[in-house]
Chains A and B, each alone.
Chain A
Amino acid sequence: DAKTTQPPSMDCAEGRAANLPCNHSTISGNEYVYWYRQIHSQGPQYIIHGLKNNETNEMASLIITEDRKSSTLILPHATLRDTAVYYCIVRVAGGSSNTGKLIFGQGTTLQVKP
């Protein structure tokens, strides 16, 4: 699985959009980009994933560059409850040899401030 690079920390004002970047320059053609977050002392929570098209769900939007070497997770209207560590993970999805293993790095600590 490809390695990802994220900034260690970011701040965002409450109500504003939070844009969290992730670099994955060695991503392979069959690897997806996943985002999870972990609110203090809780289990990680799945947010969104994508292959090459931009994706949106009720929690966030995922923008993947055309060359797929980087992506941005967007929380459109951040709240104090969005304060968490955000993990960008690249892995192959599906297939008989895939075990679903996730490789968590250090992630980005997002602090949403009032």
Chain B
Amino acid sequence: NAGVTQTPKFRVLKTGQSMTLLCAQDMNHEYMYWYRQDPGMGLRLIHYSVGEGTTAKGEVPDGYNVSRLKKQNFLLGLESAAPSQTSVYFCASSPAWGNEQYFGPGTRLTVT
């Protein structure tokens, strides 16, 4: 049982490049989330999904898109990366109506 995994662990992008971060969970959870964490700050919710085929905006959605084509996967896309998107990105999942969220190990992204 791997829990929540994230790919890649590290990435460096140039301004304007695009990329997709992959989150996978093997716990059959309905809900999945993408957060970003900047130095000295708590996590901020980017987008979330309450089930396969559904997505919704969180606190800081601008510049990101998401897709949940399969229940176990939640993809976060950056179409045109900007230096302000330099951050650590965490994915999480939770059961429907669940309490605790399970987090992945994070993806450290640098945009130059």
Contacts and interface: CB of A to CB of B under 8 A. Distances in A.
B42 A101 contact: no
A44 B103 contact: yes
Nearest to A105: B42
A114 interface: no
B48 A99 contact: yes
For chain A, give the interface size range: 20 to 34
A101 B45 contact: yes
A32 B98 CA distance: 12
Interface residues of B, number: 26
Contacts of A98: 97
Contacts of B58: 101
Nearest to B98: A100
B97 A95 contact: yes
B102 interface: yes
Contact of A45 (B45, B50, B97, B103): B103
B105 A100 contact: no
A38 to B, nearest CB: 8
Contact of B101 (A32, A94, A100, A106): A100
Interface of B: 4, 31, 33, 40-45, 48, 50, 56, 58, 90, 92, 94, 97-106
Interface of A: 32, 34, 41-46, 49, 87, 93-95, 98-107
Given A104-B42, A105-B42, 12 more contacts: A43-B4, A43-B103, A43-B104, A44-B90, A44-B92, A44-B103, A46-B100, A94-B99, A95-B97, A99-B56, A100-B31, A104-B43
